[in-house]
């Protein structure tokens, strides 16, 4: 996930300013099953501070031990961690441990790629040949050029693990009431870029919403100005029928991955009737894409519980999954 890579990059830069060495730990292969999959990364400081994790917490002690030589000699290494005997997981992890340094110019280029919502490509080159292993490394690219790169190496001498990271997932929350604060906080903990939307006459401040990246004040007729894409979810929860209707009339021309509207079933039926009355030729695909009442039916009562149900539904829709209990998952589908 791009937000995990962002935290790693910024943490490494911060450690470097304190003259603390860091190593990047990347899972580049898996034979069998594991808690986390290839492409997951973490950063380890020389003082053993960890940013992120590559497992549920059980592999990290071995990483600290294995990284000691990387800190001392500056040479990368590739290790295998067999979880079948240590964890009970039916998988063998292949892990790259390498020195990691991020320069200020590279940090700026990385942030520009995030701000411009570009896809980021990460390539890890590695070898199990002892003569080549120490030169293994990872490169980071945006859509046009290299952000963090070393000298090019011959592809036939090294194996390559490549990963494409989509732009940061963003959530627009239309509404600034108490329940919107809970959704903002829970979504930010998920790693999403949360943008709160208020009217021009609103009195709320971004500091009222823990985890929010921004609070945008807009006239209800200017919603078309907001940048949206297939890494965007929208939740309308203003508690005002008129505002919801105005927002939906604007949103029907936008590109997004998920649209949810808070409220009872009868309320959304009235909203849709009004939408069609104001816009008789509105796309049926847009109408069908509205999730309302938004959220999964998990018996939610409090704003916090409702937020969990909404976030769970967004994840299921964006990842094309039909929600069900994992305990019902058969071994053949695992």
Element (H, E) at 216: strand 214-217
Residue 305 reports pLDDT greater than 90? yes
Same domain, 152 and 41: yes
Same domain, 210 and 153: no
Domain boundary among 145, 165, 185: 165
Report the distance separating Cα 221 and Cα 245, nearest Å. Answer: 11
Same domain, 70 and 180: no
The verdict on residue 334 lying in a domain is no
Cα separations in angstroms, 51 against 28, 152, 199, 323: 18, 28, 38, 30
Same domain, 276 and 291: yes
Tens digit of each residue's pLDDT (9 = 90 or more) over 165-193: 999 999 999 999 999 999 999 999 999 99
Same domain, 274 and 153: no
Same domain, 176 and 190: yes
Residue recorded with tokens 């960890």: 50
Give me the pLDDT at residue 54, please.
87
Tens digit of each residue's pLDDT (9 = 90 or more) over 37-58: 889 999 999 999 999 988 877 7
Q: Which two tokens stand for residue 185?
A: 């906080």
Same domain, 152 and 204: no
% of the chain surpassing 90 pLDDT? 70
Domain count, the chain: 2
Residue 83 reports pLDDT greater than 80? no
Please give the mean pLDDT across all residues of the chain. Answer: 89
The verdict on residue 208 lying in a domain is yes
Name the residue with higher pLDDT: 181 or 221.
181
Tens digit of each residue's pLDDT (9 = 90 or more) over 139-166: 898 876 777 766 566 567 888 999 999 9
Cβ atoms < 10 Å from Cβ of 69: 13
| CA 224 from centroid of its chain's CA atoms | 24
Report the distance separating Cα 99 and Cα 116, nearest Å. Answer: 28
């Amino acid at each position: 996930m791009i937000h995990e890579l962002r935290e790693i990059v910024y943490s490494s830069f911060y450690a470097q300013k304190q003259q603390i060495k860091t190593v990047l730990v990347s899972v580049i292969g898996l034979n069998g099953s594991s808690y986390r999959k290839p492409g997951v990364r973490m950063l380890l400081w020389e003082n053993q501070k960890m940013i992120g994790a590559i497992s549920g917490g059980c592999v990290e002690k071995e990483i600290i031990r294995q990284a000691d030589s990387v800190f001392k000699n500056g040479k990368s290494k590739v290790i295998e961690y067999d979880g079948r005997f240590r964890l009970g997981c039916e998988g063998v992890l292949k892990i790259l441990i390498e020195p990691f340094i991020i320069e200020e110019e590279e940090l700026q280029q990385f942030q520009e790629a995030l701000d411009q919502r570009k896809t980021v490509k990460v390539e890890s080159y590695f070898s199990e040949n002892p003569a080549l292993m120490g030169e293994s490394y990872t490169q980071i690219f945006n859509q046009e050029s290299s952000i963090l790169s070393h000298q090019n190496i011959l592809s036939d001498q090294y194996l390559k693990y490549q990963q494409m990271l989509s732009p940061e997932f963003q959530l627009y929350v239309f509404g600034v009431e108490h329940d919107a604060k809970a959704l903002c906080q829970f979504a930010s903990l998920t790693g999403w870029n949360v943008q709160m939307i208020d009217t021009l006459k609103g009195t709320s401040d971004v500091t009222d919403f823990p985890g929010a990246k921004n609070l945008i004040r807009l006239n209800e007729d200017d919603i078309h100005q907001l940048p949206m894409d297939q890494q965007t979810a929208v939740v309308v929860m203003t508690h005002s029928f008129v505002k919801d209707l105005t927002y939906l009339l604007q949103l029907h021309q936008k590109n997004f991955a998920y649209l949810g509207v808070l409220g009872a079933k009868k309320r959304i039926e009235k909203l849709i009737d009004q939408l069609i009355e104001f816009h008789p030729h509105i796309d049926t695909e847009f109408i069908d894409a509205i999730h309302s009442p938004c959220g999964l039916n998990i018996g939610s009562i409090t704003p916090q519980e409702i937020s969990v149900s909404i976030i769970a539904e967004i994840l299921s829709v964006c990842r094309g999954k039909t929600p069900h209990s994992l305990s019902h998952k058969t071994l053949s589908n695992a």
